Chain A
Amino acid sequence: GAVVSQHPSRVICKSGTSVKIECRSLDFQATTMFWYRQFPKQSLMLMATSNEGSKATYEQGVEKDKFLINHASLTLSTLTVTSAHPEDSSFYICSASPGTSGSKETQYFGPGTRLLVL
């Protein structure tokens, strides 16, 4: 089946630093990728939709200047948490679908990145 990878799997950083998380579709191309955030015992919450070659679409309440998304190619999207603070500590998960517009394909999720900001 389709595989989505994330790097790093875990990161610990000091407050005020920036952290970049990569999401790659390994065996398919994805024009759209999604970034979710999950706090302990909570559901996955959509942060933004990453579109290859255009600006990301952010959900209400998500600061676009704090969570920078770059969809550089059809297989790579990056999420940069700028000036991270302890409240940004969470589990960040990306997903992608090999489907084209109009088709219905399941989404494949990355293994997640655990961010801890001290």
Chain B
Amino acid sequence: SQKIEQNSEALNIQEGKTATLTCNYTNYSPAYLQWYRQDPGRGPVFLLLIRENEKEKRKERLKVTFDTTLKQSLFHITASQPADSATYLCALDMGLGGNTPLVFGKGTRLSVIA
């Protein structure tokens, strides 16, 4: 069966450390993988998109890797801050042409402790 899993429901880290979140999937062949941030009671906000032929993508303190052999993406936040506390969602995009819906993981709730 098709599954998309994020490594843990919750992750607590100390301010200034690097947070690493994991997204694994089975029986999907996504053309893209996206990461979103969701705050309580709000819709997801897009952070990064990585294509299947890209190994790594960076944006400021964020870094995403995509290993289609392992069927895994890692999402890193360096020099984490309390303001980074939120739920982070990974989403698979099959890229079937034009606008395609996303398949979301349950998310990992990150808490950065000052």
What's the A-B contact tally at a CB cutoff of 8 Å?
66
Q: What size tier do the contact residues of chain B reach?
A: 20 to 34
Residue of A nearest to B45 (CB): A109
A residues in contact with B9, CB < 8 Å: 41
Q: What size tier do the contact residues of chain A reach?
A: 20 to 34
Q: How far is the CA of A42 from the CA of B87 in the complex (A)?
A: 11
Q: Is the C-beta of A78 less than 8 angstroms from some C-beta in chain B?
A: no
Please determine whether B49 and A106 come into contact, CB atoms closer than 8 angstroms.
yes
Residue of B nearest to A30 (CB): B99
B residues in contact with A110, CB < 8 Å: 43
Q: Is the C-beta of B42 less than 8 angstroms from some C-beta in chain A?
A: yes
Please determine whether A109 and B44 come into contact, CB atoms closer than 8 angstroms.
yes
Q: How far does the Cβ of A31 sit from chain B's closest Cβ, in whole Å? A: 7
B residues in contact with A91, CB < 8 Å: 41
Please determine whether A44 and B89 come into contact, CB atoms closer than 8 angstroms.
yes
Residue of B nearest to A111 (CB): B43
Q: Is the C-beta of A43 less than 8 angstroms from some C-beta in chain B?
A: yes
Please determine whether B98 and A32 come into contact, CB atoms closer than 8 angstroms.
yes
Q: Of A45, A46, A106, which one neighbours B46 at CB under 8 angstroms?
A: A106
Q: How far is the CA of A54 from the CA of B33 in the complex (A)?
A: 29
Please determine whether B46 and A108 come into contact, CB atoms closer than 8 angstroms.
yes
Q: Please give the residue numbers on chain A whose beta carbons come within 8 Å of chain B beta carbons, in ascending order.
A: 4, 6, 30-32, 34, 36, 41-46, 49, 91, 93, 95, 97, 99-112, 114
In the complex, besides A44-B102, A93-B43, A108-B46, 13 extra interface pairs with C-beta distance below 8 angstroms are A42-B106, A43-B104, A44-B89, A44-B104, A49-B101, A101-B97, A102-B97, A104-B32, A104-B95, A106-B49, A109-B44, A110-B43, A114-B41
